[in-house]
């Protein structure tokens, strides 16, 4: 398989082939994802909750993101890696956003950046894409706005908010994004957005009509300890596997059943 670039995703949409995307935060999981054929790996700021033990994504810093982007990039050859711009790295000024996006490409080594927001972010995204930065949009439920929204709320439930989301998607397409994440949006509205724009939509909690799907890797692996979102599906139960392994290890050390001659020199 050849290294994937932005054109690959456009072709998938045109050919009606679904795009497979997944988050990853480290070298090992990135290798597994690539070997399984995951086409787009997002180093999401969900890093904060999945790996760093934060309550929300708001506490994640740019340096933390870059550290994990480098690890994921080292674990991939062909998958397309996207770095998620964390809270307040692109809201203060467009100049700062341009500099921070550059750090993702130059230091993090990723293939593209993602940022949250709709039409209000179109001007910034135009500047980034004109300068040669591949950008993935993200509309609908926006985790970085959880504090002002008062929680994680499904977006586009009324006719007015649904229309506003469609306008957001069109504005992002015009600004040059290569794909848009649709998060927490009713299936009917995602379908309409997917039919309206010519770039691919990647859904999470946005129904089956999207051109692709993305999930948080901890949810897929059954490694999530707290709340499991309705949109997620567990394809493994690593919580139980790890718990059993650690308990067995502890018991064998306590009982002197480990190490044996086999593990000794």
Q: What is the smallest separation between the CB atom of 49 and ligand KIV, expressed in angstroms? A: 9
Catalytic residue among 116, 183, 247, 263: 183
> Of 34, 1, 7, 5, whose CA–CA distance to 20 is shortest?
34
Q: What is the CA radius of gyration of the chain?
A: 20
Contacts of 245-248 spanning 24+ positions with Cβ under 8 A: none
Cβ–Cβ < 8 Å for 203, 189: no
Residue 86 or 176: the one with the smaller Cβ distance to ligand KIV is 86
Give me the helix-helix angle, 94-103 and 122-130, nearest 10°.
50
Q: List, in sequence order, the alpha helices (H) in the chain.
A: 6-15, 27-36, 47-50, 62-74, 94-103, 122-130, 146-149, 159-175, 187-196, 217-221, 238-254
What is the Cα–Cα distance from 3 to 22, expressed in whole angstroms? 17
Residue number, nearest CB to ligand KIV? 44
Supply the minimum distance, in Å, between the C-beta of residue 15 and ligand KIV: 23
CB of 257 to ligand KIV, least distance (A): 41
Q: Which residues bind ligand KIV (CB under 6 A)?
A: 23, 42, 44-46, 84, 181, 183, 204, 214, 216
39 in active site: no
Helix (H, G, I), strand (E, B) or coil at 52: coil
Residue nearer to ligand KIV on the CB measure, 23 or 100: 23
CB 203 → ligand KIV: shortest distance, Å? 9
What is the set of active-site residues?
A: 183
């Amino acid at each position: 398989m050849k290294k994937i670039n932005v054109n690959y995703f456009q072709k998938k949409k045109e050919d009606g082939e679904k795009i497979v995307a997944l988050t990853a935060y480290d070298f090992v999981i990135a290798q597994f994802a690539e070997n399984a054929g995951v086409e787009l790996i997002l180093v999401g700021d969900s890093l904060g909750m999945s790996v760093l033990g934060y309550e929300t994504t708001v506490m994640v810093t740019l340096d933390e993101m870059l550290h994990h982007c480098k690890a994921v990039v080292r674990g991939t050859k062909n998958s397309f890696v996207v770095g998620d711009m964390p809270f307040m790295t692109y809201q203060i000024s467009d100049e700062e956003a341009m500099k921070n996006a550059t750090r993702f490409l130059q230091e993090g080594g990723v293939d593209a950046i993602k940022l949250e927001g709709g039409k209000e972010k179109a001007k910034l995204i135009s500047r980034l894409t004109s300068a040669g930065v591949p950008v993935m949009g993200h509309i609908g439920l926006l985790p970085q706005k959880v504090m002002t929204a008062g929680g994680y709320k499904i977006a586009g439930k009324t006719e007015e908010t649904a229309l506003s989301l469609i306008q957001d998607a069109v504005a992002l397409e015009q600004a040059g994004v290569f794909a848009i994440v649709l998060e927490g949006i009713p299936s009917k509205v995602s379908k309409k957005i997917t039919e309206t724009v010519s770039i691919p939509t990647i859904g999470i909690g946005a129904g089956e009509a999207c051109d692709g799907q993305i999930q948080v890797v901890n949810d897929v692996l059954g490694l999530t300890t707290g709340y499991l979102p309705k949109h997620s599906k567990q394809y493994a139960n690593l919580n139980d596997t790890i718990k059993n392994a650690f308990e067995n290890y502890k018991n064998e050390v306590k009982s002197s059943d480990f190490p044996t001659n086999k593990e000794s020199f």
